[in-house]
Structure formats: C-alpha cells, structure tokens
Amino acid sequence: MNRLRVAIGISGGVDSAVSAWLLKKKGFDVVGVYMINWDPVEEGSAACSRTKDETDAQYVCEKMHIPFSTVNFVKEYWNDVFVTMLDNYRRGRTVVPDIACNSHIKFERLHHHAIEKLGANFIATGHYASTSYGDFQENQQPGSGVKLLCGADPLKDQTYFLCTLKQEQLKRAMFPVGSLTKTEVRRIAREQDLDEIADKPESMGICFVGKRKKFEKFIDQYIEPCPGEILTLDGKHLGHHQGVHHFTLGKRIAIQGCHLGYFVARIDVSNRIVFACEGSHHPSLYATEFCLSEPQWIDRNPLADAEETTLECRIQRTHQPIRCHVKRVALNLLSIKPVFPLRAVADGQVCVFYDGRECLGGGEVQNIVSTLEY
C-alpha cells in the first residue's frame, strides 16, 4: 500500500523543521519544498537572508533524509501580495501582508504546485494552528466542513494570519506543531541534533521581505515621496512628513518639545495630512464602533440566520480576543461594537472572529464610526 505523500513548506526555521520530523515519524512520505518569493536582485549588494534560509532548509531535509526542492513564486508574490500592499500603503491603510501571503501563495500556489508537480496528497506548514480534521488529518470526515482551530500555544497561535483560508485549502492542510508549544518544538529540534535551527531567531516583519532591512528605508524604494503636513487635531502645525505610507494609527511621531509624545490619530490621504494627538492613551485613539467588509467565513456564517450576534474578535494577532456586538448594516458591510474601546483600529486592518477555539474568519476594517469623546 502506497504511503500518503505530504509536501512540507520548509522555511529553514525550527517550526517547519520539527513539522517535517513529526510527519516522517508518523510514517508519511515527506517531501520538502522551499519557496522563493522574493527576487534577490531587489536586495542590491546587501546580504540576502534568503540564501541562509534556503541553506538551512536544505540542511534540515538532508538531515532527515527527505527530498528537497525549491519553487519560484517571485512573480506571483509580487502581483498577488506586494503590489496590493504598496497600493494600500499609498492610501494610508494599515496592511497585514502575511494574511494575503498565506491565502494566495502558501495555501494556493504552493498547494497546487505540491499536488500537480510533486504528487502530494496533503500540504503541511509550521503554523501554530489546528483544524477539526486533526493535526495529521486523522479525523478527516469526507463530505463535512473543516473548522480552523487555535493552536495549543496561546502566545504563538497563528490563526489570525490564516483567517481568510477557504474550505478546499484547509481540507488538504496539515499543521503538525499545532498541538505543541514553542518550547516543546525547540526541545524536539535539539533532541534531533538540530541545535542551530532550534536556536535560530524568529523571523519578524513582512512575510519573506521585512526581515532584511529597516522597514521605512525598504518601503521608500517602492513608494515615491509625497510630502504633507503633521497637524494636531485642532489644526496646529507640528511639522512635515514625506508620505502617509510612513504612518499607521497609534504610531508615535517624533516631535520635539512634547513631554508625552505625539501619536497618529487620523490620516487625511487626499490632503496628505497626518493628524496627531498628545499622549498614547488619547481618547481619539480608541474606537467604540467600526465598519468591516464581509468576512471570509471559514466554515459557518454566524449571521446566516440573524442580522446581529455576539462574538469574540481580535484586531491584532497579539491581542486577546474580546467580545463584540456584530450587526449587518448593509450588503457585505458589518458594524462592530467591542465591549470596551479598542486602541488604534485602522482602515485596512483585519478583524478576526472567534467562537472559543474556533476561528470563524476575518474581514478588513473599512472605516472608524466613532471614538471616545475628546
């Protein structure tokens, strides 16, 4: 009987390395595939961390005696993720490119490549998440929907970044480290003589890009300067800026002579004005209601039989889910009222809904309806 083949997206990090080992231990026919999503030409003469990651990925596969290959998605990443990201930055919107990368690249392009070119039955990644089908598809139920569930490690749970995945993507996905903590993953790596991989720093910033350079210098290579003013909420001039793409709501602005510090309270893209408030807890930073585009519901739509309901939501991965009132106010538009005001909710940010451990899906913030009075 032929073994089921699983293609593991091998990144050179500890999570995918341990995922590969767990899959092999379970008896699957494992093949490793490393994605090249960024053109090294874009890095100029600077050292390219992709080379180190690819070297580490190949080392992991050789150590585990599993086939290693690479696949180039530079064009797809540029068109499906990066161009959209730049457009949103120009419009003064907050961007979560890792969500788009997962939806369009890892769980779409990679999945098709693994199935069509590598003969894989399933595709695995090192995400800290689970599904109702089980970490290794052991609870698979043909004909039934699959739910996306939070990983066992609350500090590392990555369902926020997987919130727009579709049923067909999740039905062929495995998350081998979903039931483990980061500490357990590092321990397993050391036990398998992968100390260098176990101790490797976690990658931060934009998926495949942001870990290379300081973000502002990086983004300035792709977005032309568009100078404007920095004003207080009552119109007092504070200074100038070189483009709204440098700012997100709640971000500190360096203004001389201010004891508490100024923070971005609002962005007027049309007039190129960044409005600032004094102090990190100014009332203008706290949203009491905001509107959201219709989420990509993963398994079930909680508004299918009602115009309103109560759920839990997150607007950032590191935030704890909080209860919120959700109401449909128009076609494909929801009103969200959190039980207490949320700081720095911004246009373009993704609000993700939960029901206990289940991640229901997420949608983009379209506008802030109201903030605390000031």
Is 207 one of the catalytic residues? yes
DSSP code, position 171: T
Q: Which of 79, 160, 161, 112 is nearest to 9 (CA)?
A: 112
Is 101 one of the catalytic residues? yes
Q: 203 and 13 in contact (C-beta within 8 Å)? A: yes
For residue 65, how many other CB atoms are within 10 A of its CB? 8
CA distance 171 to 168: 5
Residue among 61, 101, 291, 324 flagged as catalytic:
101
Binning the chain into helix, strand and coil, the percentages to the nearest 5 are 25, 30, 45
Q: 46 and 213 in contact (C-beta within 8 Å)? A: yes
Q: Which of 287, 284, 352, 298 is nearest to 320 (CA)?
A: 352
3-state SS class at 281: coil
**Alpha helix stretches (DSSP H) within the chain:** 14-25, 49-64, 74-77, 83-90, 97-101, 110-116, 167-170, 182-191, 195-198, 215-219
Residue among 61, 150, 207, 359 flagged as catalytic:
207
Active site residues: 101, 207
